[in-house]
Amino acid sequence: MNDDDPSADQDVVLRVRIAKLRQEHQDLDAAVHALEQGQHPDISIVCLGCLIDDHPELGRGLDLAREYGVVDLDDDGEWVVDG
């Protein structure tokens, strides 16, 4: 660290953060590209917010899954937690 110039330390921290964000962005780009090029015609990329906007009933299922780890939709269309 440079005791004479604190802004130099901030520059180092920012450079490390930028490098990490670039790597994460590259990883995400690679994952999206792999999905786009894959042999999985039944899989598509969907914006989660858009999905919930179009189907608000999914929100409850996602909330329950986050809390309990797993949920199911019963024959009546209600979200249920086993156990």
Average pLDDT over residues 22-32: 80
pLDDT score of 23: 84
**One domain for residues 7 and 41:** yes
**One domain for residues 6 and 35:** yes
**5 compared with 26, residue with greater pLDDT:** 26
**65 compared with 36, residue with greater pLDDT:** 65
**One domain for residues 21 and 37:** yes
Residue with tokens 């130099």, as numbered in its chain: 8
**One domain for residues 23 and 1:** yes
**One domain for residues 37 and 51:** no
**One domain for residues 33 and 54:** no
Among positive and negative, which fits the CA dihedral 50, 27, 25, 35?
Answer: negative
Residues 52-71 pLDDT 10s: 899 888 889 999 999 999 99
pTM as predicted:
0.42
- The parent domain of residue 50 ranges over 46-83
Q: How many domains does the chain have?
A: 2
**One domain for residues 5 and 38:** yes
**Is residue 66 within a helix (H) or strand (E), and if so which, with residue range?**
helix 57-68
